[in-house]
């Protein structure tokens, strides 16, 4: 996996954990860490997570599907 893919994967995991916390505990970790949902740094993190998700989707759609061998 290339550096960009690792970064994108980390950002997507951050987003997944954040959404999990929102769903389970009604706690937005990104907002708590960066000064609220409307704070510029929080909005940057939210945007990067979104871009990372779309980028990973594009990367995976372009990659050939690997067949499982038994």
Domain boundaries, the chain: 3-62
pLDDT at 1 over 80: no
Q: Which two tokens stand for residue 60?
A: 């995976």
pTM of the model: 0.83
Of 58, 43, 42, nearest in space to 8 by CA: 58
* pLDDT recorded at residue 66: 52
Cα–Cα distance measured from residue 5 to residue 21, given in angstroms and rounded to the nearest whole number: 24
Cα–Cα distance measured from residue 41 to residue 1, given in angstroms and rounded to the nearest whole number: 28
Of 35, 57, 59, nearest in space to 46 by CA: 35
Could you read off the pLDDT of 16-54 as tens digits, one per residue? 999 999 999 999 999 999 999 999 999 999 999 999 999
Neighbours of 18 (CB within 10 A): 20
């Amino acid at each position: 996996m290339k550096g960009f893919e690792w970064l994108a994967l980390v950002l997507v995991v951050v987003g997944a954990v954040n959404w999990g916390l929102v769903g389970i505990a009604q706690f937005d970790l990104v907002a708590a860490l960066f000064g609220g949902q409307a704070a510029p740094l929080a909005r940057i993190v939210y945007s990067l997570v979104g871009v990372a998700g779309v980028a990973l989707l594009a990367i995976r759609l372009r990659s050939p599907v690997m067949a499982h061998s038994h």
